[in-house]
Amino acid sequence: MGLSRRQLLQSSVGVGAILLVAACSTGTESAGPARRGGTLRVGALGTPARIERDPHANLSNDSDFLLASLVYDALTVPGGDPNVAPRLATRWEPDPARRRWTFTLADGATFHDGTPVTSDEVVWSMRRLRTVAGASKMPVAAEDITADGPNRVVFAVPEPNTQLPLLLRLMTFTVKKDTTDFTKAIGTGPFRLESYQGGNARLVRNEHWHGPAPLLDAIEITMFDSVTALGNAVLGGQIDLASNVGAIAGRTAEGRGDLQVVRRADDTMLGVAMRTSDGPFADVKVRTAVRLGVDRKALVNQVHSGYGTVANDILGTADPQYDKTIAQRTRDIERAKTLLREANFDTGRSYPLVTKAEVAGEVESAKVIATQLAEIGIRLDVLTQESNAFYDQTWLKAPFYTVSWGTNDSTLFFASKLLTSGSNRNETDFKDAAFDAATAKALAAQSDSEYAQACREVQQIEHERGGYLVWGMADGIDIASAKVHDLPTLGGFARVQLERAWLAE
């Protein structure tokens, strides 16, 4: 995007200009100039029993999250390069210690009822988010969120943290102060709620949005209870857009002139966590053998039907700081066998590979990996658990199990949350003093060069001796009518950023 990381942190560029550059388009510029008008019919997954109108609560329905993301503004949203873009906050800057961050709100931002957005509204909303959702959505304690004048909000953290703007993306929706009833959905976003019934909603353009005026007249959200029903609806022309419909629907849509397949790279990681502190995979030679024993391209083809790319055992593949100079691991059966012998690995017994049917292809990936690793002498018994049992009995405990993560656009986020010694989500029980030091250095970096160097150190250690087998990344597969243009192409939750979409005649 032409802005350095430091320039973004201290930028005074308006939100409109940044959003226009940060959001990727579907590459359909040949349709001519963008056209104003029309209603976009969007399908999203959801079930009536899990409907949630409170934007600060757990929005487990995709339909609820899509509605909230269009009606309410978060402080920041996902971007490409850099991976954080402004929304309700147009700029932010830290103090030299990276422990006190000041966010400046968009000029002229108003709620849908015409009242202005002030720092008091934002502080109340962020404190409420912390109370309702906890640290998972608001990583700053309630008492450490304060106003600094009418349009500036300050977040104070106990330790240096260069990642706070990223941690505030999307979930940090601002609502009117003292709101208890969210059925009217009075937000500040690019669309406002016109009607709602049983999970289905009609949103209309907010003519007074502080960002670039949306082109669509309206967005209609229809809730579907299965991926199959969602895919069939877009294939049958009942809706104009369906996200995350999977490879089968994507293959069906390819070649049809009335439809387009939007592939959002780096959307979901399926991989394996190997326990590093004890057990059969504690020896780094064994973990390296596992990584050398898999055929990554075959896994992408078989598990993701080719809708994906191979990965290199580092989480955060879409990060602008992702180190592409680290040599890509490829299959080397003989080297893998040698490493197992050097580690005195017991090839005379079998080992459980525990998985769960949580993400499309996860169980299948475990079966393919078991077949591939048999060729280097590692015999695996694939055990499929129900999700609740998996998280109670296997996660953070077992020596070898499958994992899945989305929004893979920050290597440092995953390093700090999943791999540092003090993390309560350390899936591989990885404890490495040099890794902890490099992560802390990146979090406290005061220059672009210092940050980049620390991120490289983090990734090099993760690649050399970490506990993850990250064999590939799945594309997010969206199907849309051919008349829909400028849809999001970033992975993960960026799929809900539909404010730039438009319809050709």
Do residues 359 and 319 make contact, with C-beta atoms less than 8 angstroms apart?
Answer: no
Contacts of 267 (CB under 8 A, 6+ apart): 244, 406, 408, 473, 474, 475, 476, 491, 492
Identify residue 468 by its one-letter amino acid code.
Y
Identify residue 497 by its one-letter amino acid code.
Q
Q: In 3D, which of 162, 36, 140 has the Cα closest to residue 501? A: 36
pLDDT tens track, the chain, 505 positions: 233 323 333 333 333 333 433 445 554 445 689 999 999 999 999 999 999 999 999 999 999 999 999 999 999 999 999 999 999 999 999 999 999 999 999 999 999 999 999 999 999 999 999 999 999 899 999 999 999 999 999 999 999 999 999 999 999 999 999 999 999 999 999 999 999 999 999 999 999 999 999 999 999 999 999 999 999 999 999 999 999 999 999 999 998 999 999 999 999 999 999 999 999 999 999 999 999 999 999 999 999 999 999 999 999 999 999 999 999 999 999 999 999 999 999 999 999 999 999 988 999 999 999 999 999 999 999 999 999 999 999 999 999 999 999 878 999 999 999 999 999 999 999 999 999 999 999 999 999 999 999 999 999 999 999 999 999 999 999 999 999 999 999 999 999 999 999 999 8
pLDDT at position 17 = 35
Tokens of 317: 């593949």
Identify residue 409 by its one-letter amino acid code.
D
- What is the 3 state secondary structure string of 43-72? EEECCHHHCCCCCCCCCCCHHHHHHHHHHC
pLDDT at position 31 = 66
* Fold that domain 5-240+483-503 belongs to in CATH: D-Maltodextrin-Binding Protein; domain 2 (3.40.190)
pLDDT at position 18 = 35
pLDDT at position 4 = 32
- 92 SS3 class: strand
- What is the 3 state secondary structure string of 194-263? EEEECCEEEEEECCCCCCCCCCCCEEEEEEECCHHHHHHHHHCCCCCEECCCCHHHHHHHCCCCCEEEEE
pLDDT at position 32 = 81
Backbone angles phi, psi at 119, to 5 degrees: -60, -30
What is the residue extent of each domain of the chain?
5-240+483-503, 266-475
* CATH placement of domain 266-475: 3.10.105.10
Beta strands (DSSP E) in 76-209 are: 76-78, 84-86, 89-94, 100-105, 145-147, 152-156, 191-197, 200-205
pLDDT at position 219 = 98
pLDDT at position 453 = 98
